[in-house]
Structure 1
Amino acid sequence: MTPRAPQRGGKPSDRGLRNEQVPVWGGLLPPRPTEVDPDLAGLVNDLNDEQYAAVTHGEGPLLVVAGAGTGKTQVITRRIAWLIASQRALPEEILALTFTDRAAEEMQARVDRLVPYGYATTPIKTFHAWGDELLRENAHRLGIAGDLRVLGRAEVVLLLREHVFELGLKRFLPLGNPTSFLGDIAAYFSRAKDEGVDAEGVAAFGQSLIDQAKAARSDQGDPAKAQELNEYADALQRLGEEHGELASAFRTYRSILATRGLLDFGDQVFLAHELLKNDPLVLARARDRHRWILVDEYQDTNRLQGSLVDRIASGSRNLTAVGDDDQSIYRFRGAALGNILGFVDRYPDTTKVVLTKNYRSTAPILRAARTLIRFNDPERLEVKIGISKDLVAVLGAPTDEPVAFRRFRTTADEADWIAHEIAASVASGRAVRDHAVLLRAHVDAGEVTRSLNMAQIAWRSSGAAGLYGRPEVRLLLAGLRHAADPEAPAPLFLIAADPRFHVPPTLLATAVGTARRTHVSLRTALAETGAGNTATTELLGRLAEIVTESTERTSGEVLYRWLRESGLLAELTREATPEADEQIRNIGRLFDVVRSRSRLLELDRVPFLIQYLEELGEAGDDPSAVDVDPDLDAVSILTIHQAKGLEFPIVFAPNLVEGRFPARGRAAPLTLAAELGGTEQVVPEDPRTPDQPNLLDEEALREERRLAYVAITRARTRLYLSAAERAVSGVRARKVSRFVAEALDLSRAQLEESPLPEEAGDRIAGLAVAPPRLPALAARGALTTDQGPLTLSFTAIEAYLACPLRYHYQQRLRIPLPPHHAAIYGSALHAAVAEFHRGQMRGEPPAIDALEAAIDRSWQSAGFISRAHEAARRSAASEAISKFRAIEMADGARPAYVEKDFTFDLGGHRIRGRWDRVDVRQLAAGERTTPIPEITSTGDVVRPTLPLGEDEWVEISDYKTGGRDDEEHGIKRAKEALQLQLYALAWRATTGRLPDAVSLRFLDTSRVATVPVEPKRIEKAHGQILAVANGILAGNMEPTPELMTCTYCSYRELCPASKAPAGRPA
């Protein structure tokens, strides 16, 4: 199937098309064929003409202007699938870039469903993930270790604080509080990197300001302005010196990062861009690898991301940019609208496709959005390149309700009205989750949540307390804080007040009073007061054990011990509700945080961890809690930024008043200058050229208008706009937002004439009347049914085969487990093996010292029985890696693939994994004495994507630690290993044939157990995997207890069906 060449010609349509007209763009659509290749029909038959043109575009740059609700993600994922299915591209030749992990995961899942055969996974990544991968692959070119450590913002602030007197700061180093500016300085460095500005760029700008100051002082013009000019020159001089100071600190900061082998978040793109700019070989490889590039939400790219994409795409020029300038709302993060507005200028041969058929909102909602956004003309793509972006409502509602606007006297009245409307809507049959409240800032949520609580309406909010504010996490952190400082009153009070420990409230209150009066610790007072109370005595005994253990065990081990002692995890597991599941996942998130933070400590013990967490907290660190279950029947309360990409049947947009929306801009104490790509005008106005228009302020207003546009276009059938004259605590009257007038095409006078509700007294009396009764929420157990198709790993398959309830605990709830020495030992050895193979593939096998360093970087002093046990295991790791290296060096053979990811389709489900090692050897003529094994029960291969020669011997290996030094036992394990059978299935799916052999390579004993691939075992594995998928889809999570399985199950203490003997360690 040859690419269809787009037909050029035609002129842009007139602006102001009616809703019913079909849009026209520069470059008419190629005619859509009446017949489509049967292999591709499923990908394109249900697309409209514009979507079809975008999906089936051939080579060359493509700009897809995708309005709200027009199927943007569908176009991107269908285009990826079409490029693969039409054999224009191999999957690994395509690179799709987006901005959030959630968007990347959703896109990957859609592509997985569209491409029904085994393939090397198409890279679908965030910009930072792609940059991180490039840096790790080329770490040797940068002179840094391959296992890069990336610092978060709070960790950057701590690093700056540690070196604050080395940064050369003066103006930004008040001696009364030397660290007060460090958060702002960290943010400044981050924004500079977003714009591709390094320390030299900041220094040059500072010097230019000093030069301007000198020129201003020498200007002997109007004497009447002499004083004003001197003040202007003084301001320039000071600003220039400040930038010189910042440049010096920036250089030192970069040096500190390099010395300590660290990166910050911005480096993942900044250094990747520098690598592409300065290393022709890396650039050539990137261009060769990524012949087709697709960028989602292109309007949100910053200057550096835009340049990075252009550098790679300038090779093949097969760049698809998908975006909508009217939805560009991340200017405060550095989004450069000029990237999309100037796309056609940079790529003059661009084919432009405009998606205008809206499958989300009703015509009145789209009319309001269009009326509003046209106030941003002429700084819009529609005007710049002569296209029409008028959205056409495709899915008409039974009755197209007009957009409603309500005014209220106070924000409390406004919130009560929202709660009443939602209650009435739910009473009429709507689900609670059909409703959303969208806010300009989350600080405005308080009144709304209060009113919803009063009306007993469930709500959820992504902007609620972070991870550390969650009750289940606060209890666990209190246990660690008590272990770190047993005399501190607050942690002990929080623990003792928890009803799980049954300490009588009056007893606790008495103990607090005694501690205050007698000046003793709360622990001492509680021990004395509660001497006769069994619950109190037991609690203090448990805590004493935790304190003792905290000096001997790692933070993760102590946290797990406290989790068990508190009974929290067992209680949540028994509850088996969506809310309990969410709390368990938050506990798992806490363990992830503790694990990552504790690895930075010189000695991982609770007191040092707590000190570090508190320092991070002071620097603004509070990890996010897990996402709320999207199926939870609750009102969504979101900021408009959070709601981007979402949609709801009914949307409320309250607090639409001047000063709140559009918001008043507040300049940060330290802001990147507009001349360096920032969003603020930090250079003062030149008195010689007064009254120049502030273009930045105008762009800020346009951004706020775009944000309002995004809010409006989240609604499907009903949109309520509202404003209150006064805040509950305020006395000043507030004006209705200009955006309401613009959207509804009303004058301000008409807005102010909108009727207000009844007087406050009548409203208060009305609250006595119960809101419409809400239907009872359906009870929902924790073991909900997964939606197919599934994506499964070997770990998930193995867990389900062992016991479906173990799968539920491990894969769904992700219940945290204590660190185990065997896992730590195995991970460290695998890291060293991977380090060896990476160098081997470059022709530079690492020395033993480098492999020892790789083990040290991965090693954790946790889960061992004693220090002597840990020392013995570390010595064993050195011995194993030394023997491994010697054998590999003597052999001299290089594997064909190492640590290679795979994805393949099996029965409509995706199986993901990674081959540790694949060896491919060319056979001599007549050397093959047995035919290549084959099976009949799979139909999962359509087109191989890994090339193989005419006659090659293929062996796939998995590295193992542990095991007996017994050849017969090793062979038995290799024959029965489901993981090796899965590897063989994956190889068949991606090459069209089975491997000849599979092996287990035991690192401790240096034995290799190699067995031929047996079709009957492959067939059995195929059936097992399908049975697992069917069981999961059916919601079967019933435990299958068995003595041996339960005895060695890590969840045996939680499982109600466990047959493990009491006291037997898992």
Structure 2
Amino acid sequence: MDITSLIDPLNDAQRAAVTAPNQAVLVLAGAGSGKTRVLVHRIAWQIQVEGISAHGILAVTFTNKAAREMRNRLEDLLEHSVHTMWIGTFHGLAHRLLRRHAKQAKLPDTFQVMDSADQLRVIKRLVAGMNLDETKWPPKQIQWYINAQKDEGKRAKHQLETGDVFQRQMLAVYRAYEEICDRSGLVDFAELLLRAHELLRDNADLLEFYQQRFLRVHVDEFQDTNTIQYAWLRLLTDGKDNLFVVGDDDQSIYGWRGARIENIFSFQQHYPNHQVIKLEQNYRSTGNILKAANKVISVNEARMGKELWTDAGEGELISLYAAFNELDEAYFVVDRIKAWVNEGGLRSDAAILYRSNAQSRQFEEKLMATGTPYRVYGGLRFFERAEIKNALAYLRLMSNRDDDASFERVINTPTRGLGAKAIDDIRLIAKDQSMSLWSAAITLLKQKPMTPRAKNALVGFLELIDRLSTQAEGLELHEKVQMVNEQSGLIELYKNEKGDRGEEKLENLDELINAARLFDGGQENEENLNELDLFLAHASLEAGDMQGEEFEDCVQLMTLHSAKGLEFKLVFLVGMEEGLFPSQQSSDDIARLEEERRLCYVGMTRAMRQLYLTYAESRRIYGKESYPRPSRFLREIPAECIQEVRMRATVSRPQATAKPIDLIAQGRQFKLGQRVGHSKFGEGVVLQMEGEGAQERAQINFKQAGVKWLMLSYAQLEAL
């Protein structure tokens, strides 16, 4: 048998993974090390060499795109169809299983799958039916709670009642939600996985059938699996040791949505007869980029350990730019992209990566000003984001009461007790009497009876807009925006939204204030419009211009989370500051800090040829001017990998700019984020370092004693 095509294109480690004997195998595949090739060739090897039928192979991925790519590459390699092989996402395969065995899964044959939006609508109706106040019990927070419980394999009946009011109410809603779904034959995404697991767990004959059918089970991106996904895999492979997983503990960055890096470590206990194979040869980045990324990620303690390398040469040094402020940072990045394009580079080979979506606005603005097409990958442009549109709608109504689109957008955002009937009545009056919705609302109050709740809500809304308009007189533009954010209820709405999404929306609202503060419409004001109207026009124009299509040559903007799996010749990792990256919330939590460091590692390893790291000496964030310290991740990069770059002054340096920190200095006794021990206070984490020599001191968060500043010359700290 000629197996040249199967193993000849592989390096030694890849070949070892592809030809490994039938046992549990964990392939630790570093960034850019060819994990998809290994998976495809492994399956081809099993079909062509081991004689396993495609019918007996299961392959699980996390996206439909990855599943299609794997199938196409496999068929190209084998030169025949593998249509009988089960290959797809966890949700897709679970759905397939439930369709085949709906009765045993206690589902009607006609059960319907709800997407996230459908699920939220069901929860909103449920909340209304239970007479719960949406401001206290936001439907999105309930949705997050229910899905999180299911991802952990927990039904409402499994939860113990406690004295906690929040937990008790959430549990009551969860029970009611399950009853509605069961009665209506509805299945949400999280339910697909949980129900499929229960189907196999509770039906021994069915489990045995699929265990015998799937002789080989393969999993891509194993580090991103959650509790129920791993439990499902363990059921299928129980006692078989036929699980082949590919993942990278150093790229586990989705803990906030349920992914458990612990699954990689648990794999070795659950499958004692296992083999670990490391793919460390990188085919993407230069030696300098890999050396820096290796050093940064090596600071993490919760990792299995590997060292990426390349035979493609050292390449250019990583460039570090200290900007005066966020404006200077954006000018610098766009200027370098222009130089890249002028030298023959493609715009689509350049990517700007940031920790928070709110950071995109400055770069969008500068790219538009220079006529550079761009695309926000995996997200919306700044002025197209829902929370920004909501705030702008309030501002537009303040300026023009007859703006029907804005009226419809915010009349019940946040919810204020207006039902669908009242809003329909307003629309009907507006249509019949050819008037604006605002005028129709006033007419409705005068001419038609309404429930007291609806009437009070509508009066309150109209009075709110009038009050905002009156209070805005004499205020600066950014003060008007800040007032709207606060008094409209939008800030309170997003504070109640569970998880990172709510925080992200609050950050975007803060960035809208910054946009208003920096707005200068003087040159555009040929019509002598007021500043608010100019700003609103500016927002509309920015929302609809310069956004490139997928097929166009345009600069790529994205969050670091969205960048995973992608690669670019030129990468800018921006906003490298304490409190921004790593985020403020992670600074005193070892697990979250290590995930932030993995995120930095992912960002650095997206770069193929050139990597720029930037930070600002001053930045306006959360509505305030701050002077952040450069990110600890910068200090973890070896000095020999970095060159500091300068740019001609394009933005005036702030008068109170903090003195730049020497990032290359390696003289500290301890590192930020390092675990230390103290004879009196016990174990802690280093939060900050200040001073030099005998005056060097550290701020440490001790588990038992809390946060304390200690002089290192006296503290006698021990590195753990």
With the length of structure 2 as denominator, give the TM-score of the two structures. Answer: 0.66
Given the superposition, is the C-alpha separation of residues 85 and 755 from structure 1 closer, same or farther in structure 2, using an over 3 Å criterion? closer
Given the superposition, is the C-alpha separation of residues 257 and 75 from structure 1 closer, same or farther in structure 2, using an over 3 Å criterion? same
Displacement of 1:437: 0.7
Given the superposition, is the C-alpha separation of residues 303 and 420 from structure 1 closer, same or farther in structure 2, using an over 3 Å criterion? same
CA–CA distance in 2 between the matches of 1:630 and 1:74? 25
Query: Among 172, 176, 193, which residue is 2:150 paired with?
Result: 193
Displacement of 1:130: 0.8
CA–CA distance in 1 between the matches of 2:340 and 2:381? 31
Code of the aligned partner of 2:340: S
Alignment of 1:270 onto 2:194: yes
Q: SS of the residue aligned with 2:148?
A: helix
Alignment of 1:125 onto 2:88: yes
Displacement of 1:120: 3.3
Q: Which residue of 1 aligns with 2:627?
A: 733
Query: Among 599, 605, 610, which residue is 1:718 paired with?
Result: 610
| Cα pair 1:409 1:756 within 8 Å, conserved | no
Superposed, which structure 2 residues align to 1:260-339 within 5 Å? 260-339=184-263
Code of the aligned partner of 2:32: G
Code of the aligned partner of 1:380: R
Which digits, 9 at most, give the CA deviation of each residue in 1:151-170, with x for residues without a partner? 22332232122222665x8x
Query: Among 354, 360, 367, which residue is 1:445 paired with?
Result: 360
Code of the aligned partner of 2:576: L
Displacement of 1:463: 4.2
Displacement of 1:107: 1.5
| Cα pair 1:492 1:522 within 8 Å, conserved | no
Displacement of 1:420: 0.7
Q: Which residue of 1 aligns with 2:563?
A: 643
Q: SS of the residue aligned with 2:278?
A: strand
Q: Which residue of 1 aligns with 2:552?
A: 632
Query: Among 415, 427, 435, which residue is 1:521 paired with?
Result: 435
CA–CA distance in 2 between the matches of 1:629 and 1:83? 40
Displacement of 1:759: 4.7
| Cα pair 1:489 1:521 within 8 Å, conserved | no
Q: SS of the residue aligned with 1:75?
A: helix
Q: SS of the residue aligned with 2:616?
A: strand
Displacement of 1:708: 0.4
| Cα pair 2:327 2:651 within 8 Å, conserved | no
Alignment of 1:402 onto 2:317: yes
Q: Which residue of 2 aligns with 1:655?
A: 575
Displacement of 1:147: 3.2
CA–CA distance in 2 between the matches of 1:723 and 1:360? 25
CA–CA distance in 2 between the matches of 1:467 and 1:98? 31
Unaligned 5+ segments in structure 1 are 1-36, 208-237, 383-388, 475-486, 495-514, 526-626, 667-693, 765-1066
Displacement of 1:85: 1.4
Q: Which residue of 1 aligns with 2:380?
A: 465
Which digits, 9 at most, give the CA deviation of each residue in 1:581-637, with x for residues without a partner? xxxxxxxxxxxxxxxxxxxxxxxxxxxxxxxxxxxxxxxxxxxxxx97654211111
Given the superposition, is the C-alpha separation of residues 492 and 313 from structure 1 closer, same or farther in structure 2, using an over 3 Å criterion? closer
Displacement of 1:73: 0.6
Displacement of 1:424: 0.7
| Cα pair 1:283 1:312 within 8 Å, conserved | yes
Displacement of 1:88: 2.9
Given the superposition, is the C-alpha separation of residues 162 and 731 from structure 1 closer, same or farther in structure 2, using an over 3 Å criterion? closer
Alignment of 1:249 onto 2:210: no
| Cα pair 1:463 1:638 within 8 Å, conserved | yes
CA–CA distance in 1 between the matches of 2:384 and 2:206? 45
Displacement of 1:80: 1.1
Q: Which residue of 2 aligns with 1:490?
A: 404
CA–CA distance in 1 between the matches of 2:191 and 2:373? 42
Displacement of 1:353: 1.0
CA–CA distance in 2 between the matches of 1:312 and 1:66? 24
| Cα pair 2:105 2:196 within 8 Å, conserved | no
Displacement of 1:643: 1.0
Q: Which residue of 2 aligns with 1:697?
A: 589
| Cα pair 2:249 2:264 within 8 Å, conserved | yes
Displacement of 1:79: 0.9
Given the superposition, is the C-alpha separation of residues 664 and 468 from structure 1 closer, same or farther in structure 2, using an over 3 Å criterion? closer
Q: Which residue of 1 aligns with 2:349?
A: 434
Q: SS of the residue aligned with 1:65?
A: strand
| Cα pair 2:287 2:309 within 8 Å, conserved | yes
| Cα pair 2:360 2:382 within 8 Å, conserved | no
Displacement of 1:188: 0.4
The range that moved more, 78-87 or 710-719, is 78-87
Displacement of 1:760: 5.3
CA–CA distance in 2 between the matches of 1:316 and 1:488? 68
| Cα pair 1:161 1:179 within 8 Å, conserved | no
Given the superposition, is the C-alpha separation of residues 55 and 738 from structure 1 closer, same or farther in structure 2, using an over 3 Å criterion? same
Displacement of 1:425: 1.1
Alignment of 1:116 onto 2:79: yes
Code of the aligned partner of 1:406: Y
Given the superposition, is the C-alpha separation of residues 41 and 757 from structure 1 closer, same or farther in structure 2, using an over 3 Å criterion? closer
Query: Among 154, 157, 167, which residue is 2:120 paired with?
Result: 157
Code of the aligned partner of 1:43: L
Displacement of 1:490: 3.3
Given the superposition, is the C-alpha separation of residues 466 and 142 from structure 1 closer, same or farther in structure 2, using an over 3 Å criterion? farther
Q: SS of the residue aligned with 1:136?
A: helix
Displacement of 1:744: 3.9
Q: SS of the residue aligned with 1:293?
A: strand
Given the superposition, is the C-alpha separation of residues 522 and 196 from structure 1 closer, same or farther in structure 2, using an over 3 Å criterion? closer
Q: Which residue of 1 aligns with 2:309?
A: 392
Q: SS of the residue aligned with 2:591?
A: helix
Q: Which residue of 2 aligns with 1:887?
A: none
Displacement of 1:82: 1.4
Percent identity of the aligned residues? 33
Q: Which residue of 2 aligns with 1:48?
A: 11
Displacement of 1:248: 2.8
Q: Which residue of 2 aligns with 1:939?
A: none
CA–CA distance in 2 between the matches of 1:334 and 1:105? 25
Q: SS of the residue aligned with 1:437?
A: strand
Q: SS of the residue aligned with 1:448?
A: helix
Q: SS of the residue aligned with 1:642?
A: helix
Displacement of 1:337: 0.9
Displacement of 1:281: 1.7
| Cα pair 1:371 1:745 within 8 Å, conserved | no
CA–CA distance in 2 between the matches of 1:313 and 1:721? 44
Displacement of 1:196: 0.8
Q: SS of the residue aligned with 1:650?
A: strand
Code of the aligned partner of 1:124: I
Query: Among 286, 291, 294, which residue is 1:367 paired with?
Result: 291
| Cα pair 2:156 2:175 within 8 Å, conserved | yes
CA–CA distance in 1 between the matches of 2:55 and 2:402? 56
Displacement of 1:756: 6.8
Q: SS of the residue aligned with 2:331?
A: helix
The range that moved more, 144-153 or 89-98, is 144-153
Code of the aligned partner of 2:633: F
Displacement of 1:466: 8.4
Superposed, which structure 2 residues align to 1:912-923 within 5 Å? none
Given the superposition, is the C-alpha separation of residues 760 and 418 from structure 1 closer, same or farther in structure 2, using an over 3 Å criterion? closer
Alignment of 1:376 onto 2:293: no
| Cα pair 1:363 1:392 within 8 Å, conserved | yes
CA–CA distance in 2 between the matches of 1:292 and 1:409? 56
With the length of structure 1 as denominator, give the TM-score of the two structures. Answer: 0.45
